[in-house]
Amino acid sequence: MMYQQDRPWRLSRRAFLAGSASALGLAALPAWGRGLVTTDDGVVRLRTGPAAWSLKPLGPDVSGAWGYNGIVPGPTLRYRQGEQLHILLDNGLAQSTSVHWHGIRLPNAMDGVPHVTQPPVEPGETFEYAFELPDAGTYWYHSHLNGPEQLARGLVGALIVAEPDAYPVDRDIAWLLDDWRLNQEGVIVENFNDLHDVSHAGRIGNTVTINGRLPHIMDVRPGERIRLRLMNGANGRIFGLTFDDLPAHVIALDGQPVPPHEPDGGRVVIGPGMRADLVIDCPVDADRPLVVRDDFYQRMEYQLMAFSVTGEPVRNASSPTPPAALPANPVPEPDPDGAETHEVVFGGGMMGGMGREKMMRMMREGMAWTVNGEPVESPGRHDHDPLFTLTRGQTCRIIFRNDTRWHHPIHLHGHHFRVLTRNGENEPHQPLRDTMLMDPQDTVEVAFVAEEPGDWMLHCHVAEHQAGGMMGMFRVGD
Ligand code: C2O
Ligand code: CU
pTM of the model: 0.92
Residue 19: band (very low, low, confident or very high) from pLDDT cuts 50, 70, 90 = very low
Say if 13-166 and 173-309 have the same CATH topology: yes
Query: Does the pLDDT value for residue 98 go beyond 90?
Result: yes
C-alpha 411 – ligand 1 centre gap (Å) = 7
> How many angstroms separate the alpha carbon of residue 475 from the centre of ligand 1?
16
Fold of 336-477: Immunoglobulin-like (2.60.40)
Q: Is the pLDDT of residue 26 over 70?
A: no
CATH class given for the domain over 13-166: mainly beta
Question: Which candidate, 24, 320, 287, 31, places its Cα nearest to that of 169?
Answer: 320
For residue 58, pLDDT beyond 70? no
Q: Quick one: which of 156, 164, 108, 171 has its CA closest to 137?
A: 164
Question: Can you say how many angstroms the Cα of residue 246 is from the centroid of all Cα atoms in its chain?
Answer: 24
16 falls in which pLDDT band (50, 70, 90)? very low
Q: Which ligand is nearest to the CA of 457?
A: 1
Starting from the CA of residue 407, give the closest ligand. Answer: 2
CATH top class, domain 173-309:
mainly beta
Ligand 1 closest atom vs CA 457: 2
Ligand 1-lining residues (CB < 6 angstroms)? 100, 102, 142, 144, 273, 411, 413, 457, 459, 461
- Sorted by where each begins, the domain ranges of the chain are 13-166, 173-309, 336-477
Contact 103, 94 (CB under 8 A): no
On the 0-12 / 13-18 / 19+ scale of CB atoms within 10 A, 157 is buried
Residue 383 has pLDDT above 90, yes or no: no
d(CA 407, CA 193): 18
Q: What is the pLDDT of residues 178-193, one digit of tens each?
A: 999 999 889 999 999 9
Give the ligand at the shortest distance from the Cα of 352.
Answer: 2
**Mean predicted confidence (pLDDT) in 199-207:** 96
Q: Which residues, in sequence order, are CB contacts of 154 under 8 Å at separation 6+?
A: 51, 53, 65, 66, 67, 72, 73, 178, 212
Rounded Cα distance, 113 and 208, in Å: 28
Is pLDDT at 4 greater than 90 in this prediction? Answer: no
Give CA torsion, residues 57, 59, 60, 61, to 10 deg. Answer: -60
What per-residue confidence (pLDDT) applies to 59?
67
Nearest CA to ligand 1 atom 1: 102
Instruction: Please report the atom of ligand 1 found closest to the CA of residue 435.
Output: 1
What is the model's pLDDT at position 2? 29
Centroid of ligand 2 to alpha carbon of 14 (angstroms): 37
Instruction: Find the 88 Cα to ligand 1 centroid distance in Å.
Output: 19
> Considering the chain, what is the average pLDDT of its residues?
90
pLDDT tens digit string along 71-86? 999 999 999 999 999 9
Mean pLDDT along residues 399-423: 98
